[in-house]
A and B are shown apart, each in its own frame.
Chain A
Amino acid sequence: MTTLDTPTFAPRPSLLKRTMQRKTMVIGIAVLAVFVLAGALAPWITPFSPSRLSVANRLLAPSGVHWFGTDDFGRDVFTRVVYSARTSLFVGFAVVVFSALVGVTLGLLAGFFRRLDPPISRLLDAMMSFPDILLAISLVAALGPTLVNVIVALGIVYAPRLARIVRASTLVIRELPYVEAARAIGVSTPHIMVMHVLRNITSPILVQGTFIFASAILAEAGLSFLGVGVSPDVPTWGTMISLGRQYMDQAWWIMLFPGLAVVIAVLSLQLVGDGLRDLLDPRFSKDL
């Protein structure tokens, strides 16, 4: 007598395993981890101070002692690049948090309440018609050039991007039977919005958040370069490039290394964002 084999399904690989399969994403995460660690452990990594002036050491070329050379005030460029990682990554992360708070709230409200949808959507259209940097510098000009205001300004600039994605996802999820069922058994609207809708759209928020992180680092560097960002005394990659510009002919290293730091950090975030999108959203296969 023959027996019918019960069909067996290969267990889905764990999230960690699927992450490890994406080499570019792993590289991105590893590079970001290096930046975060370098920023956090800066005082232990480098023996120099980011702000101590040393006229005797000004404009020294890269060497065994000063890996990335020194700037016009004799400060060690490597030390300043490492310390700047703190500010630049902090600003990027804070912008993501702020824009998520504003964007997710607006997106949920627009997607969930039909009456609120037209005014919120038009507001998002209007906000998105301002070019990023132009809106950011105008907001910083109005609010004042402080670290917090730069974060708020960039948060306002990027919030509509998230709001649109959240709105679109909410519109789909709102119509699903389980939301209807939750309503039928008397679950409150705020509870449905947070526990049933928001929890199911964390993937697109996470992916977009990574790209906003990357854009915010670039934008912060741009604002600092233009002199409308954080105070020039605060070491950020943008202020370093701006300073190095005056000495481009004689000391190329002052602007080269902070610029490379921006490129590598932003590139890593893009790799992570792309990887997360592939990983969390089955519609985006590697090929498309």
Chain B
Amino acid sequence: MVGYVLNRLIGMIIVMFIVATVVFVIVRVTPGDPAAVMLGPDATAADIAALREQLGLNRPMLIQYVAFLEQVARGDLGRSIFLDQTVLSALAQRAEPTFFLTVFAMLIACAIALPVGIMAAWKRGTWTDQLVTAVAMLSASIPSFWLGLLFIQFFSVRMGWFPTSGYGGPGESFAGRMQHLVLPAVTLGIISSALITRFTRTSMIEVLSSDYIRTARAKGVGHMKVLLQHALKNALIPILTVIGLTAAVLISGAVVTETVFGLPGVGNLVVSAVLRRDYPVIQGALLIVAGLYVLLNFIIDMLYLVVDPRVRF
């Protein structure tokens, strides 16, 4: 078991090293001088030269690469070109809305997907099953930004139930800020529920056709007990994997959803950084988000050890 954990840990470090390399390469593939691109057409030669110096673009590529890795290892992600702060503090400042949006969306997605997926598996082959499958497929086909705009139009503008955009002013209470997250989280939750619903259904169908479930039923164990106590426990492992995968979908969705709802989150920061060619921010956000994803999947792998004692490979 220690070997397994160690193996996964080394794998995670290697992947993070490659992630950092990919991020380094992405910024360097910019055609022309990245400093000139970042500062735009109005920049003077002196401004460009100063930025090249600040970013270390004058140095040979290999030296830049080593310096970049060193910097990342120290936890230093550089300074934003346009915001007067470090990338890390810019990301930290905008982490709250993104964090709560992702968590709420995940909870909503699971609250929809788990019962619906279990029901579809239980009623396999009936119209309930077909309806669930069709709705899941439909919700995976809807662009999140479009659904968000429809929700804003109906629930905020017409019904006046929720704020149309933003995250409240500087003095807004926590409850007030969370109210701004209801519609974005529901939008993202509905879209993300599709994948979890389909996996839950498939996983439950497989488990429900196992011998031990048939035995439990033959012994007269109640429907609900078979479903929730016997079947769900074993079906949880693949579901757990897909919940991990959904995290990436959620972060992608958050980038777009935050823009639609005007939430000052990490996604919004990245989009404005892309529009202004603020490469240090893009670089930092990519590193942090991919790093969190790798970490999350590592945690999920470790959870396997808890959920399923058979995992000892």
Stretch from B18-26, B218-226, B304-312 at the A interface: B18-26
Dominant SS among interface residues on chain B: helix
Quick one: closest A residue to B270, CB to CB?
A134
CA A126 to CA B140, docked complex, whole Å: 25
- Chain A 65-102 interface 0/1 with B at a Cβ cutoff of 8 Å (1 = within): 00000000000000000000000000000000000000
Is B274 on the interface with A (CB-CB < 8 A)? yes
Instruction: Name the contact of A248 in the complex, choosing from B15, B149, B282 (C-beta under 8 A).
Output: B149
Residues in chain B near residue A274, CB distance under 8 A:
137
**Which of A126, A245, A256, A264 counts the most chain B CB atoms within 10 A?**
A126
Distance of A221 Cα from B145 Cα, bound (Å): 9
Residues in B whose Cβ lies below 8 Å from that of A245: 149
* Contact A218 B26, beta carbon cutoff 8 Å: no
Binds A, one of B65-73, B81-89, B285-293: B285-293
Chain B proximity mask over A106-140: 1 for CB below 8 Å, otherwise 0: 00000000000000001101111111111101111
A287 and B26 form a contact (CB under 8 A): no
* A48 in the interface (beta carbon within 8 A): no
Interface pair B137/A141, CB less than 8 Å apart: no
Among listed A39-47, A164-172, A188-196, A225-233, interface-contacting one: A225-233
Q: Which chain A residues lie closer than 8 Å to B297 at the CB level?
A: 129
Contact A126 B286 (CB under 8 A): no
Contact with A along B5-47 (1 / 0, CB 8 A): 0000001001110110110001101110000000000000000
The answer to the question of B248 belonging to the interface, with a C-beta cut-off of 8 Å to chain A, is: yes
Residues of A within 8 A of B26 (CB): 138-139, 142
* Cα-based distance from A129 to B137 in the complex (angstroms): 24
Query: Which residues of chain A (226-255) have a CB below 8 Å from chain B?
Result: 226-228, 238, 241, 245, 248-249, 252, 255
> Is A267 located at the chain interface by the 8 A CB criterion?
yes
Does A271 have its Cβ within 8 Å of any Cβ on chain B? yes
Report the bound CA distance from A125 to B10 in whole Å.
13
Band of interface residues on B? 35 or more
Interface centre among B22, B27, B144, B252 (most CB of A within 10 A): B252
Beta-carbon nearest neighbor of A126 in chain B: B18
Name which of B153, B157, B274, B297 has the most chain A CB atoms within 10 A of its CB: B274
B205 touches A130 (CB 8 A): no
Judge if A270 is at the interface, Cβ distance under 8 Å: yes
List, sorted by A's number, 24 A–B pairs whose CB atoms are closer than 8 Å. Answer: A126-B290, A128-B248, A129-B290, A129-B293, A129-B297, A131-B252, A132-B248, A134-B286, A135-B286, A138-B270, A138-B286, A142-B26, A214-B141, A225-B145, A228-B271, A248-B157, A249-B157, A255-B146, A263-B146, A264-B141, A266-B140, A266-B141, A270-B141, A288-B206
Q: Which 7 A-B pairs have the closest CB atoms?
A: A126-B18, A259-B146, A266-B141, A131-B252, A267-B141, A133-B252, A141-B274
Which residues from chain A sit less than 8 Å from chain B, CB to CB?
A: 122-123, 125-135, 137-144, 214, 218, 221-222, 225-228, 238, 241, 245, 248-249, 252, 255-256, 259, 262-264, 266-267, 270-271, 274, 287-288
